[in-house]
Structure 1
């Protein structure tokens, strides 16, 4: 009898458990076209008169978003903008005069001027070729603009157009003198000796030629770019100098090709994609066009402090002789003050140094103001890459420059006085600053920061020379603010962990209340009670406190199994309080939790939002601390949430797929199963810009690549592995998983499978592909993690 009762209880318990572990969600539902969720605003911007908010929206469920507007005079109405009105809007790009009542800009390559006092637009120039980058000069009666790689000016009163630079592509034409053969030269000489008239005519001809050469005006100077490409044409406000970059393409660059087997033609086509890491980079130089002296000369970077410094990692290769030579650099376009001082941002191509320097326009020499050195790589919010300086510019006083730096370990805003050479930190603390900009009157900063919490973003106002940061946003989560041109209102895109983006309006005051303007969630989406994951920290083996999102099932449905999600992109944050860009994965985690799984989503080492040391924690060893963070997260689940150590799975895409492979290959005792999506398998086959920062170059630092690439550790696979990859992935090429699959075959591994998606790039587009992929992931976890 006891056996029968026990059997009944086991069977009944199984039925109850199975019934409880159902969800109104399904893979098919959450992976369908995202329009099922509703429509949510994006790309918010203001009209020039600050009376209208424009944004992209799609309440009619059209194939693509359209432009909509809300007018401050009637915020209850959301109006679709007619195509003609949209085409006539004043662009956000362009330049204001000092009084900010005039704006010059281009539309479709035509030059326009808008008068805000008269509310009138005036077409100034249409020249056939595309006009770009218009700006007011110090003499605001004159506008400078670019046309066909040259700088021009336009006088507003007279309409006079003047070409300032004479730059041409290609080689300077060589003067060709007719060269006579030995035979023809003898015949000519003989003829001149025999025929007196011919001799006299030839003599007069030579004299006329000599006279013309002696009396002609000097040719206008022309600069030829030769084989180089011109970029970043900039003019000083006093119109005395023009700076530009010259880029010499690498002759060693070798692109890789991705075959598309589903091309519309029926033939296999090759997609030209990118070179692999380590391919020789293009050479970048900066030149100055002196308009008064009518000549061009180059900026001198050979005296930058530390230009010959070798990176620390060279000590790992004592047998190699390293040359101490000037490292190649990339110089940004010039940043001009109102009084025509020039400043540049310079980065070493190994990305371990950034210099901010004053540029002497008369001779091209540099005076270093700030040097930031990082033995890993220079990055972080507002730091900028390549030609861009990030947050960088002059205050209106012409004495101070502003910039962001990770000097303290977090990206903060600084001022530097070029007269007394003093640097001042305007913000400080264990948080980061984002997108600072000056107020119209130059007396305040507007900026966003994570000062409240690493997982929140708020908008602040601060005095221009530093002081108290006045918090202007109040809603918990993320507040992406677009400030009206008159600075009286904030248009806020706000979201929370379980609430997608909506548009709010708020007066520019810390005491004002934000008013919601859009409500885009569909009834189907609102019908489910989306979970608000708990933000936690667990302790890593090195003592670090690792942030994560935790999804826990109801006690009655908990099955003792857990899934760890690894976000992609390397430098990205996902353990935060706003609507994730991984919204499909977020919904999948809700489904998993309904089914009894515990889900942990970790901001492992290398993630954004936590400062320099966290960002560079993966330097020279991807699959090091970023992987051990996943292992420590699994241990946290076992110790604190009573998860069965035999029932832990892991999955992720791109970088998350890479970590999944490293986990299955190197931590078989921790992870039973894993799904590696669009994963890097060998970093020597990835791109240069991302990979060389973290691992240097494979021929210079092979140790870093060997210990960071999953393909070298495939023999460690013991658990159950799903590999999924798009076949026309132009980011992480399909070749990556082809090579890995051959390695697994040669190793005799049979506990893996691969799903391929013939029409998908790195980011999947088709709902059918998303659905198929995530059904396979769910099947993998259900079959291998549950009894």
Structure 2
């Protein structure tokens, strides 16, 4: 998920470490809490139902290994079985079903399997070294369709014959090549050449006639030219149409920076290309080809009729920048910023954050989700197959940027009605719309709706919402024709759910502050759950961990309530004494860490416990830009990253001073990734407010981050240079007054170590004091080695012990 690009999470896939024996109720130490997290337990991951709905599968990480094992559990008895290598041969993958619910299909070890649900008979359809994916049944239920890369195949269930749905050739048709002037002269001069050409044309014409008339023959190829490449293909269930998302074959992404590996198996320094910087080149525009597989015709679906596609939402910023460039005599740079007549779009994003194509079950309708490359607009459109044109169904515009989440969409069972999520009211809600009618909201309110699942009978949607409180998530049900939301689960920390094939049960992943995601099953109508797993380690659960208290911090800048998690002593009665405090800042920017579910930051949460043991109090807030609080909270940072968030962190500090006896001169701050960025912004934009800060893997200059994340929030640096100057810590380096520790993995290919090294050099040249950098040669963005975790937090602990905890001199 793009929102996680900046998350400095506590990685759970570390190398084996020595056994940990934590004290059940005694004091904590860094060696324990930064050890291999296998001693904590493991999260249950990726649950799905068996094809017959009688079992649930899930995966679980192995102790001392990054390998995950597959388990099968009986939801009635709760009996779990770990599948060994031999048992994996009879396992299943997540299933899809035909419209009559007589057959199921799934992918296992990259191959396609088919199950007759009445008899339980199982058939392996493919056995190949290339992985297959995306199984779907034909509209008439007679065939199983699947893909290998971007090539689709059709397995006829009666005959057992497999054939390609289409043959795609990204080259020019050699038989359609017209002779040039010299070639035509040769044909005019020589009779034998004319006869040879006529014979060749006759053979080709006969083959084309046979191909068109004989369904048992392989289909004729589509010659698509060598100028484009396929990013995605989607076959209609009726087998009539194939949609191809394309982009230029040789798009220049711009120069990529290199990550240098200093500690290597070879003993030699090794270089690795990383992602390109924002603004080096915009993403390649994408186009949509429509192939008629029956008539063997192809056409491009134009986008120029999408509402608003010819608008320039950046017109005012563009004019200001162009004027400044022209004034500076940079006319060529000014011309390069000219707005396009029709904004380019994308229809396929390989990071799972939106875009895509969804066919109706009967194959007679298709919906395509498109985004403008400037990410100010999202469209959902169907296609008029006769006119080869988009039919706009919904436009979502945002002056900031379209969210990376809440872009789910699909079809009702009738194949004529769309459903989709939209933030158009300021909060993600669920909508339905007939292709020739008006949209209707199925949910309304100031809460987020996500992960909609339409029941097999089409009568209900099951969704994840935080209707009761921003930090509390559960499964709710809403009738597909409209009605009230009904709460189905009662966890508050519900994370994921999967509806059973017969709509009767829910498999639910849920967690709490110190319990990693666990699996339960319950009635889809709502009932007491049956807990199926307990994968936490007794050594961990025996300790008396501090239950974080969810608190409301009033905003002094008109933002309303800032939600936080407060860590303090169990018997806190005297709030008048002066005490030290630490603010932890979560990463990713758009991430929610104040919730009833487990935290994304396991190491940091244990470190917060250690800090309380040492006499600090700790708060962790969902500053503006965090997930879970609606569009306005998310886009408050548009063109000014690090500014609203800092206001919220300062409000959190003031709340600690007022309510928990904190000395305003003894407050430290730390965080990773976006949290590291905010630590640097806090020290550099509010000098004197924090006694010290520790920034892990922080972006120090947004012009060196990637396009997908940064351009959404700050636009392109060429177009909006002021937004980058406003938002980058390196621009405020001269303000450093307070001790700053920077920790960074040297082979970080997300936020480059060069960000921290460049900022360090600025401090050197500015003759600053009390700044340090610690570099980790074998760590990427998410640290993987327990030794590195320990060393990093030992340095943070020493920083706070030196500069935050001591009482100031009188």
TM-score (norm 2): 0.86
Alignment map for 1:585-604 (pairs within 5 Å): 585-604=604-623
Q: Does 1:621 align with 2:640?
A: yes
Give how far 1:31 is off: 0.4
Bigger radius of gyration among the two: 1
Give the aligned partner of residue 612 of structure 1: 631
2:77 corresponds to which of 55, 61, 74 = 74
Q: Offset at 1:375?
A: 0.7
**Paired residues of 2:494 and 2:508 also in contact (CA < 8 A):** no
Q: Is 1:451 equivalent to 2:474 in the alignment?
A: no
- Name the CA distance, whole Å, in 2 between partners of 1:633 and 1:257: 39
CA contact (8 A) 1:342 1:361 kept: no
Report the secondary structure of 1:238's partner residue: coil
Contact 1:706-1:712 within 8 A present in 2 as well? yes
CA–CA distance in structure 2, aligned partners of residues 638 and 532 of structure 1: 21
Partners of 1:149 and 1:509 in 2: how far apart?
A: 40
Correspondence for 2:273: 272
Aligned to 2:706: 687
- Equivalence map 1:649-660=2 (5 Å): 649-660=668-679
Structure 2 residue aligned with 1:235: 235
Alignment partner of 1:376 is 2:380: no
- Note if 1:756 corresponds to 2:775: yes
Matched with 2:3 is none
Closer, same or farther: CA 127–755 of 1 in aligned 2, 3 Å: closer
Q: 2:420 aligns with which of 403, 410, 420?
A: 403
Q: Does 1:547 align with 2:563?
A: yes
Residue 432 of structure 2 corresponds to: 415
Answer 1 or 2: higher relative contact order, Cα 8 Å, separation at least 6.
2
- Residues 754 and 57 of structure 1: CA distance in aligned 2, closer, same or farther (over 3 Å): same
1:523 equivalent in alignment to 2:542: no
Deviations 1:742-785 (A, max 9, x none): 10000001211111111110011111111111111111111111
| Structure 2 residue corresponding to 1:664, chosen from 657, 671, 683 | 683
Which residue in 2 is equivalent to 1:673? Answer: 692
Alignment of 1:142 with 2:146, yes or no, is no
Three-state SS of the structure 2 residue aligned to 1:703 is: helix
Q: 1:215 to 1:90 in 2, by over 3 A?
A: closer
Alpha carbons 1:721, 1:751 under 8 Å: kept: yes
Q: Partner of 1:7 in structure 2?
A: none
Secondary structure at the counterpart of residue 604 of structure 2: helix
Deviation per CA, 1:308-354: give whole Å up to 9, x if none.
22225526547267436211111254322225122211110000001
User: Any idea what SS the aligned residue of 1:154 has?
Assistant: strand
Task: Find the counterpart in structure 2 of residue 27 from structure 1.
Answer: 30
Q: 1:759 to 1:113 in 2, by over 3 A?
A: same
Name the residue aligned to 2:357.
334
Distance 2:541 2:133 in 1: 46
Partner SS state of residue 768, structure 1: helix
Q: Residue 44 of structure 1 corresponds to which residue in structure 2?
A: 47
- Larger mean CA deviation between 626-635 and 79-88 belongs to 79-88
Alpha carbons of structure 1 residues 639 and 286: separation in structure 2 relative to 1, 3 Å: same
| Kept after mapping to 2: 8 A contact 1:559/1:596 | no
Contact 2:358 2:368 in 1 (8 A): yes
Partner in structure 1 of residue 766 of structure 2? 747
**Per-residue Cα deviation, 1:258-314 (whole angstroms, up to 9, x for no partner):** 101011111111121100001322221110012233121111101222112222552
Separation in structure 2 between the aligned mates of residue 577 and residue 378 of structure 1, nearest angstrom = 27
Query: 1: CA distance between counterparts of 2:68 and 2:163?
Result: 42
Aligned to 1:644: 663
Partner Cα distance (1:334, 1:63) in 2: 34
Question: 1:221 offset after TM fit, Å?
Answer: 5.7
For 1:319, the equivalent position in structure 2 comes to 323
Q: Give the aligned partner of residue 285 of structure 2.
A: 283
Unaligned runs of 5+ in 1: 1-21, 193-201, 384-390
Structure 1 pair 773/206, CA: closer, same or farther in 2 (3 Å)? closer
Among 484, 503, 513, the alignment partner of 1:487 is: 503
Q: Contact between 1:381 and 1:411, CA under 8 Å: does it hold in 2?
A: no
**Is the contact between residue 481 and residue 493 of structure 1 (CA under 8 Å) also seen in structure 2?**
yes
Cα distance in 2 for residues equivalent to 1:721 and 1:311: 39
- Give the SS at the match of 1:222: strand
Moved more, 774-783 or 109-118: 109-118
The answer on 1:506 being equivalent to 2:525 is no
Partner of 1:255: 256
Count, aligned residues: 740
Farther-moved stretch of structure 1 (448-457 vs 327-336) = 327-336
| 3-state SS of 1:83 partner | coil
Question: For 2:81 and 2:162, how far apart are their aligned partners in 1?
Answer: 41
RMSD: 2.7
Q: Distance in 1 between matches of 2:799 and 2:562?
A: 27
CA distance in 2, matches of 1:163, 1:482: 32
Residues 362 and 645 (structure 1), Cα distance of their counterparts in 2 relative to 1, 3 Å cut: same
- Partner of 2:588, secondary structure, is coil
Task: Say which of 435, 455, 466 aligns to 1:439.
Answer: 455
Q: CA separation in 2, counterparts of 1:147 and 1:502?
A: 34
Distance 1:599 1:145 in 2: 52
| SS of structure 2 residue aligned to 1:646 | strand
Aligned to 2:102: 101
Q: Deviations over 1:599-653 (max 9, x none)?
A: 1101001000000000111110011101111112112222222211110111100
1:245/1:333 contact within 8 Å kept: no
**Hey, what's the Cα distance between the residues in 2 that align with 1:300 and 1:591?**
59
- Check the 8 A contact 1:358/1:369 in 2, yes or no: yes
Q: Distance in 1 between matches of 2:128 and 2:642?
A: 56
Alpha carbons of structure 1 residues 408 and 556: separation in structure 2 relative to 1, 3 Å: closer
2:309 corresponds in structure 1 to 307
Residue 19 of structure 1 corresponds to none
Query: Does the aligned pair in 1 maintain the 2:41–2:516 contact within 8 Å?
Result: no
Whole-Å Cα distance in 1 between the matches of residues 613 and 62 of structure 2? Answer: 30
Paired with 2:272 and 2:196, the residues of 1 have a C-alpha distance of: 61
